[in-house]
Amino acid sequence: MTAQRDTDGTLGDMGSIVDPADVLGGPSVGAFDDHHPPDAALIGDCVHCGFCLPTCPTYVLWSEEMDSPRGRIYLMKEGLEGEPMSDSMVGHFDACLGCMACVTACPSGVQYDRLIEQTRAQVERRHERSPGDKALRGLIFSIFPHPRRLRLLRGPLRVLQRTRLDKAMRRTGLLDRVAPQLAAMERLAPRLGKPQPLPERIAAQGERRMTVGMLVGCVQGAFFPGVNAATARVLRAEGCEVVVPPSQGCCGALSVHNGREAEGQDYARVLVDAFDEAGVERIVVNAAGCGSTMKEYAELLADDPAYAERAAAFAERVRDVSEILVELGPVAPRHPLEVTVAYHDACHLAHAQGVRSQPRELLRAIPGLELKEIAEGDLCCGSAGVYNILNPEPAQELGDRKARNIVATGAELLVTANPGCLMQVTSSIERSGHPMGMAHTLEVLDASIRGAPVAELL
């Protein structure tokens, strides 16, 4: 028999796939260098049970071990054991959407989110990408985290001409990839109205119950200014004094999720400074991806002596807006909205932050509103930050799958809490030929509090 137990002595344990004691300490020789390689102790938590597989969008699409969380953790382990960082290995790390559905599903508590972040930082530093891939990534990160540039993108062709990016984009294929998303944004834009810059400080209606700082975000601020306005109105109506620090910028989520660690840290420091000066009790976020990253600033800035402590205190105060509203409890009266709603869990809200019940609770509390659950609700829609631009094919497959499940609910209005999801699902639903209304949870809540007609949302 050719089977051997523990041939190389790396493993001695029965339940775990790697023994931290054997991997820690020695200099890394394989895929990873010594600067925060994927943590062997965290890898060791994986018992290879496979419960994560059916929750993983890429496993659902391709049914291959190496495109599952368990497989990717195994690839990390291989890297620690000396396997080189090959193109194939990187390809499987890149293919991860970072949706964190596996983290929710894992009975052993494996922190895959930490592991993939550590791995991606190593990949960005150590892996030589093809020139086209490099250019595409460079371009994305020169636009998306910058609210001002993003705002300019609202008239995409005009922007392309003005910034002379059109040639570069055509070379990289970015135009083809971004175009459908831009088209979707544009389709949404008129309904959302003109950008409405929020004042720096908005007083609470009635008795002040809490002072909160509000993140306006990049994509949210640029393409869904109405969501920010609605958020501010709802918070005010529920007795919050809302502070909107003008010095805030990007939260760094897109950078961190794509292994651009240093860039992400820079964004984080700016944001910590901005909100520290505001002196607020809570920092409220209405974009799932931003919230999940901001809650992890403690880890992100742990190595920075000047910021570590402040970042931890900052992260402690971060809440998704639905969490705050449920925590405070409603004071503003709700007006009926006779509408059937399908609520889509944004991965970075449901899986990364564990916020599932709060948005549903808020929606259910609206008289006349009927809430439908979406089949395969835990499965990512394929947006995943900028994943749909970097990996358009799987993203589209997932989007179409999501659209089918949403349409099957028969709901009139799709509600979700993340700008990326909203854009992705919009384009998929348009493709499906069953157009329906789309809104952020807070827009629905705002409409109910204002007593606005349902038609405003549809």
Enumerate binding residues for other proteins (CB under 8 A): 1-7, 11-17, 19-21, 44-45, 47-51, 53-54, 62-66, 71, 74-75, 78, 83, 86, 88-89, 92, 106-109
* Distance of closest approach, residue 367 Cβ to other proteins, in angstroms: 24
* Distance of closest approach, residue 361 Cβ to other proteins, in angstroms: 14
Locate 44 and state its tokens. Answer: 């060791």
Secondary structure (3-state) at 193: coil
**Residue 116 or 442 having the CB closest to other proteins:** 116
Neighbours of 450 (CB within 10 A): 15
* Distance of closest approach, residue 146 Cβ to other proteins, in angstroms: 36
* Distance of closest approach, residue 50 Cβ to other proteins, in angstroms: 4
CA dist 23 and 32 (Å) reads 12
Secondary structure (3-state) at 153: coil
What number of CA atoms fall less than 13 Å from residue 370's CA on the CB side? 8
* Distance of closest approach, residue 240 Cβ to other proteins, in angstroms: 30
Burial class (CB in 10 A: 0-12, 13-18, 19+), 303: exposed
Strands 201-202 and 240-243: antiparallel
**Residue 106 or 438 having the CB closest to other proteins:** 106
* Distance of closest approach, residue 351 Cβ to other proteins, in angstroms: 15
* Distance of closest approach, residue 44 Cβ to other proteins, in angstroms: 7
Residue whose structure tokens are 């209005």? 413
**Residue 28 or 86 having the CB closest to other proteins:** 86
Beta strands in 207-296 (DSSP E): 210-214, 240-243, 282-285
Phi/psi at 437 (5° precision): -75, 155
**Residue 83 or 166 having the CB closest to other proteins:** 83
* Distance of closest approach, residue 109 Cβ to other proteins, in angstroms: 6
Name residues whose C-beta falls within 8 Å of residue 88's C-beta, 6 or more positions apart in sequence: none
Phi/psi at 71 (5° precision): -65, -40
**Residue 62 or 141 having the CB closest to other proteins:** 62
**Residue 44 or 57 having the CB closest to other proteins:** 44
**Residue 9 or 305 having the CB closest to other proteins:** 9
Secondary structure (3-state) at 319: strand
CA dist 36 and 203 (Å) reads 44
Secondary structure (3-state) at 77: helix
DSSP string for 329-391: ---SPPPP--EEEEEPPPHHHHTSS---HHHHHHHHTSTTEEEEPPTTTTS--S-TTTHHHHS
Q: Is-contact 334 362, C-beta < 8 A?
A: no
* Distance of closest approach, residue 5 Cβ to other proteins, in angstroms: 6
Locate 231 and state its tokens. Answer: 């958020």
**Residue 108 or 247 having the CB closest to other proteins:** 108
**Residue 87 or 309 having the CB closest to other proteins:** 87
* Distance of closest approach, residue 64 Cβ to other proteins, in angstroms: 7
* Distance of closest approach, residue 37 Cβ to other proteins, in angstroms: 16
**Residue 71 or 213 having the CB closest to other proteins:** 71
Burial class (CB in 10 A: 0-12, 13-18, 19+), 188: middle
| Residues counted in the chain | 458
**Residue 107 or 190 having the CB closest to other proteins:** 107
Residue whose structure tokens are 């995409």? 156
Which residues sit opposite 343 in a β-bridge?
415
